[in-house]
Structure 1
Amino acid sequence: MLFTPIKPMLLHMGNNEEINDNPEWIYDIKWDGWRILLHKQGDRVEAFTRHGNNVTAKFPELQDVGHSIKEHTAIIDCEGVVLRNGVSVFDDFAYRGRLTNTSKIEQATITHPATFVAFDVLATDKPHTTQTLKDRKEILSSIIEPSNKMLVTPSIVGNGNNIFQITKEKGMEGIVGKRSNSTYKTNYRSHDWLKYKHFKITNVVILGYKENPFTMVVGKQLSNGKYKPLANVEFGFKPEEKTAFREIAKQIISKVERDLIWLKPLLHCKVQYLERTASGSLRIVSFKGFDFDNVLEPTNK
């Protein structure tokens, strides 16, 4: 298991209206970065993504992380993040993940410093996956000395609605609720682990679409009259909405490029999204309905 890729335990999406306020659930802040599994043995520390990619070379901070882990041997589940005023910024950590040049990676440790926020432990000198989450949390807290490079995520027993509201006020992604008696099952998506996210709604213009898979390209109009794509939307459509859209779309086609059909920017819709990236693009987007009251003539005919 040590220094080999492990597919971590995964979550289901929870209903924000059904957050469970009872002592059988433990709630963590949901950090917005990359799921990372840290492996340590002595001075050797390596980082693997949830898909099994070894990204150790991208994060020189891991040497300091090793000093924070007080056990000789450990496998720790965490989120790799870049924090800005205490809030994780996905785009910043994704930037770190894209770097391959050694000098740029070193520079990024200053401009985009990575922090690894631990929330579970799979093993130390023995496996812990069959122990309860409550026991694993106690082990985790006992083996990590917090630093700028490594933290243990704050947890609260019960009171999920309270921490959900606090994370909303602070502009965080949301929370994760887990049954306190849940064991750790690798490569398994469990209803014992639920994520609750703070989504936003915005109005956008439909710029084009493709059929396989059905995807809308949505965007906004800039001050110069041109249109900028913001997201590709694949989810949230009802069959009848697709049918109605196709009937309208075939009347306002502007050009076709391979499988992408561009439209005159006349039709608007609402989308739900998690956050905006530094470039203004929308992340984790789903369709929430057409806005037929907002059909305008484009200014750049």
Structure 2
Amino acid sequence: MLFSAIKPMTVSPGREPFDDHDFIFEPKWDGVRILIHKQGSRIEAYTRSGRAVTHKFPELQDALGAIRTSSAILDCEGIVLRDGIPAFDDFMYRDRISQSVKIARAVHTHPVTFVAFDLLYTDREHLNEPLVDRKKRLSDSIDATPVLMPTLFVETHGKALFEMMKERQMEGIVAKRKGSTYVPGNRSSEWLKIKVVKSIHVEILGYKIDPFELVIGLNFRTVKHKPVGVVATGITTADKELFLTLAGPLCTVREGNTQWMEPRLCCRIDYLDRTDMHQLEMTTFRGFLLDMRAEDCVWPY
């Protein structure tokens, strides 16, 4: 099991925050899943797909001393904090660079913290132990440092933690049944992610004709007018009629079911999730922003 790729157990979507004596609740960290393997003086890191990324994170050598057991497999989230809040794009920068000089510089400009939330192995496997037992082992097995720390969790009070995460502009919470075992590669119905709804101003790059959907975009540091998804929920008949009137003079080319247009119109949407490539998911239309410039619709770094 040590130093071999393990597909981590993943969460299922949840709806509303809840309180339950049979669950613990953790913050949902906005980073990338990393599994850390240690044996003696050797330490390695793997992504959820099994890609070895040890060379990208020299900080792991500092984490080595924080793990008390001689052997361990830790299930973690790799994050980069900015003003106390995880910045997903900052971690993706760390994952993207490969030149040793840039990596050495990024250790100081984009320092990584590995937030551990599960312990899969020490001197033996712990996969079939209840979560609460693995949590106790995890607490006993690592010392909290700026590079490696166990995640915060609370019992029972999921609603209060959700409100705290919302106030701190975090992604949300993860609810986990206390007795849950760890099944690698399984999407567990006993682990639920409950996300905070986020709002963002987007530009409209075009629309789908049948069914009707707005194609939405954002401006990034290196890419302008990047499509980031579609939105249909929340658009009323009056919204559609107004949009088609305004969009007429802006239309450019039609490609199949998509009518593209000059990026001149903006709107506000809510979304619940986004992919690693910044595609916004579970979107809801909230209204046009007729006085906003499209170039001001930017991804919030």
TM-score after normalising by structure 1: 0.81
Q: Tell me the residue number matched to 1:232.
A: 228
Deviation at 1:288, TM superposition (A): 1.1
Corresponding residue to 1:102 among 89, 100, 103: 100
1:21-100 equivalence runs, <5 A: 21-100=19-98
Separation (CA, whole Å) in 2 of partners of 1:156 and 1:167: 13
Q: Tell me the residue number matched to 1:145.
A: 143
Deviation at 1:176, TM superposition (A): 0.8
Identity of aligned residues (%): 41
- C-alpha spacing 1:115/1:295, structure 2 compared with 1 (3 Å): closer
Q: Tell me the residue number matched to 2:3.
A: 3
Cα deviations by residue, 1:43-76 (Å, 9 ceiling, x for unpaired): 1111111111111110000011111111111111
Deviation at 1:87, TM superposition (A): 1.6
Deviation at 1:260, TM superposition (A): 7.1
- C-alpha spacing 1:71/1:296, structure 2 compared with 1 (3 Å): closer
Contact 1:274 1:283 in 2 (8 A): no
Separation (CA, whole Å) in 1 of partners of 2:121 and 2:231: 37
**Any idea what SS the aligned residue of 1:22 has?**
strand
Contact 1:28 1:177 in 2 (8 A): yes
Q: Tell me the residue number matched to 1:216.
A: 215
Q: Tell me the residue number matched to 1:13.
A: 13
Contact 1:230 1:282 in 2 (8 A): no
- C-alpha spacing 1:236/1:38, structure 2 compared with 1 (3 Å): farther
Q: Tell me the residue number matched to 2:299.
A: none
Contact 1:234 1:286 in 2 (8 A): no
Separation (CA, whole Å) in 2 of partners of 1:271 and 1:12: 24
Corresponding residue to 1:287 among 265, 283, 287: 283
Separation (CA, whole Å) in 2 of partners of 1:159 and 1:298: 43
Separation (CA, whole Å) in 2 of partners of 1:297 and 1:140: 49
Corresponding residue to 1:128 among 117, 126, 129: 126
More displaced stretch, 137-146 vs 253-262: 253-262
Deviation at 1:267, TM superposition (A): 5.6
Q: Tell me the residue number matched to 1:223.
A: none
Contact 1:207 1:219 in 2 (8 A): no
**Any idea what SS the aligned residue of 1:190 has?**
strand
Deviation at 1:89, TM superposition (A): 1.1
Cα deviations by residue, 1:64-106 (Å, 9 ceiling, x for unpaired): 1111111111111000011123321111111100010001000
* Structure 1: 5+ residue stretches without partners: 221-226
**Any idea what SS the aligned residue of 1:65 has?**
helix
Separation (CA, whole Å) in 2 of partners of 1:73 and 1:236: 50
Deviation at 1:261, TM superposition (A): 4.7
Separation (CA, whole Å) in 1 of partners of 2:294 and 2:7: 50
Contact 1:271 1:286 in 2 (8 A): no
Separation (CA, whole Å) in 1 of partners of 2:30 and 2:164: 16
**Any idea what SS the aligned residue of 2:8 has?**
coil
Moved over 6 A (4+): 257-260, 295-300
**Any idea what SS the aligned residue of 2:154 has?**
strand
Is residue 112 from structure 1 mapped to residue 103 from structure 2 by the alignment? no
- Aligned-partner residue type, residue 60 of structure 1: P
Cα deviations by residue, 1:95-150 (Å, 9 ceiling, x for unpaired): 10001000100000000111100000111110001000000000000000111110
Q: Tell me the residue number matched to 2:200.
A: 202
Question: How many pairs were matched up?
Answer: 282
- Aligned-partner residue type, residue 284 of structure 2: K
* Structure 2: 5+ residue stretches without partners: 296-301
Q: CA RMSD in A?
A: 3.5
- C-alpha spacing 1:298/1:185, structure 2 compared with 1 (3 Å): closer
Contact 2:165 2:171 in 1 (8 A): yes
Q: Tell me the residue number matched to 2:298.
A: none
- C-alpha spacing 1:138/1:236, structure 2 compared with 1 (3 Å): farther
Cα deviations by residue, 1:170-210 (Å, 9 ceiling, x for unpaired): 12121111000000011010110011122222343311357
TM-score after normalising by structure 2: 0.81
